[in-house]
Amino acid sequence: MSRASSSAHFLHSDMDVIPFPKFATNAIHIGNEPERNGASHDLVTPISLAVTFGQIEPGVFKVHDYARGGNPTRDSVERSLAAAENAAHTVTFSSGTGALSAIMQLIGSGDEVVSMASLYGGTYTYFDNIATKNGIRIVYLDVTDADKLHHALSRNTRMVYLESPVNPSMRVIDIEAVVRSVKGYNKDIITVLDNSFTTPYFLRPLDLGVDISYQSVSKYMGGHADVMMGSASVNSEDLANRLKYLQNNMGAIPSPFDCYLILRSLKTLHIRMREHMKNGLLVAKFLERHPCVEKVNHPGLPSHPNYELFKKQSRGCSGIFSFYLSGGKTELFKFFRHLKIFTVAASFGGCESVCSFPTVMSHKGVQPKVLQAAGVTDNLARLSIGLEDVEDLMEDLDQALWSSGARKGYQQQQQQTSPTSTDSRRDRRGSQKIKIVNTQATQTGVAEVETPRFARRY
C-alpha cells in the first residue's frame, strides 16, 4: 500500500493539482493506438459493430468469436480505463448497476457483505431488495469504528463494500485503515470501493489495497451526461477472469458506440476534473458563508470533520458536495423552483450543474431511520457543480436561496459583517461579502477561498 509523501504536494491558490504521473498522456494514448494493421491507420479508435467474427477453423478464432464475449472497441476502452485506475484489468458493463450486479455475483447464498450504513440509495436498494433475495446477508455499520468493524466480520463475511466520500453526506473513510483491518481478519475477503465521486484522477483505490475499484462510468468518466456504463477494475487475475465470465454470461455489456464515447471522454478527464474541483470549492465556500445555509458538507473545506484525512489519501476533490438549507422541506422545494442555471436532476458529473433532493430522489427507497442516522434530512440538497462560469453559478444559487424563504441566522450574520470594507462586494440584499481576486489561471474574477494542500501519492 502506498503512503502519502512527506513532502506533500498540493493545491495552490490557483487551484492547480499535482496529477498521477503520465495520467493525461495515458488517457489520450492507451486504448487509442492507431489501427496498425488497417490501411488507414486510424488515429481515433474505430467503432466495431460486428456481432460475430470469422473463425480460422471451427473453434479456433483470432481474438473474438461473439461480441457478447468481447469486441475490439470494448477492448480499447477497458485498456484505457485500466490505465486510469492503475489496474491490471478493467471489465466494463452496460451501467454502474450492471457492474454492481456482476460484483455481487462473485459471492453467493449464505455469504455476508459488510457495508457502510450510509451509501448511495440505488446501492442500498439493490442490497435490500435483490441481494437479500439471493440469500446474501447485508450487515450495515459504521466502518470508521474499528471495534464495530472487527466484531461485524465473521467466517461468513465474503465482501466489504465501501464508499468515500459517502453519497450524499460526504463523510470520508480511512480506506487503508479499513482494508488493513479487513485483510488482517481474513485476506480472502473482497474489498470493493465505489470511486464514482472522486474518479481515478484524484484517487486510485487499488493503490490503497482495495480489491475492486467500482465506477459508474456514466458520471465523471463519461462527463457529458450522454452515455451509461459501469466498470470494475482489479489487479487480481482470478477476479478479472471471474468478472469477464460474468460479463459474458450475464450479458450486461456496453455497446460499441458507448465504448467510443467513453474513449473520447477519457481524453479530457484531467482537464474537466480540475475545473469541477475549482468551481466546486468556490461555490462551497460561497455557500458556507451564506445566511440561508445551515451547513456545507465538502471534504475540501477545512470545516469538514475528515478534512485532514481527505487531503492525505486524495489528490483533489470533484464538484460534488451537499448542504443543509436553513429551513425545511417547504423551503428546499422553493429553492429548487427558483433555480435558473442549475437543473433539478438525478446523477452527477456532467458539464451542466445539477441539484438534487436526496430524500425524494436518489434515496427515496431508503428507510427513514437509515436516512436520519446518515444525516440525510429533508433540508439536505446535493450539488454537482459543472463547468459553467462560477460567478453565474453563485448568483443563481444566491437568488434561489433568498427566494426560498430560508432566513435562519440572517440577523446574526448581518451584525458580524463589516459595512466599511472597500475590498469586497455585497449582494443586492447586503447579505454577505464575496472578495474578488483575479488569478492568472482563470483570467476571471472568482471568490477567494482557502484551498487544501493535497498529498502527492506514488
Active site residues: 68, 120, 194, 219
**Whose CA is closest to 120, among 288, 351, 371, 289?**
371
Residue ranges of E strands in 246-342: 293-297, 320-325
Question: Which residues are registered as beta bridge partners of 191?
Answer: 160
Give the count of beta carbons closer than 10 Å to the beta carbon of residue 347: 16
**Whose CA is closest to 78, among 201, 274, 253, 209?**
253
- Beta-carbon contacts of residue 58 (< 8 Å; ≥ 6 apart): none
Identify whether the C-beta of residue 332 lies closer than 8 Å to the C-beta of residue 294: no
Give the count of beta carbons closer than 10 Å to the beta carbon of residue 345: 15
> In the numeric block, which cell numbers belong to residue 41?
491507420
Helix (H, G, I), strand (E, B) or coil at 301: coil
Q: 232 exposed, middle or buried (CB, 10 Å; 0-12, 13-18, 19+)?
A: buried
Cα–Cα distance between 162 and 152 in angstroms, integer?
14
Helix (H, G, I), strand (E, B) or coil at 445: strand
Q: 74 exposed, middle or buried (CB, 10 Å; 0-12, 13-18, 19+)?
A: buried
> In the numeric block, which cell numbers belong to residue 264?
473520447
> In the numeric block, which cell numbers belong to residue 40?
488507414
Give the count of beta carbons closer than 10 Å to the beta carbon of residue 109: 8
**Whose CA is closest to 181, among 213, 203, 198, 157?**
157
Question: Which residues are registered as beta bridge partners of 194?
Answer: 163, 214
Q: 261 exposed, middle or buried (CB, 10 Å; 0-12, 13-18, 19+)?
A: buried
Q: What angle do CA 72, 74, 75 make, to 5 degrees?
A: 60
Give the count of beta carbons closer than 10 Å to the beta carbon of residue 43: 9
Cα–Cα distance between 53 and 68 in angstroms, integer?
11
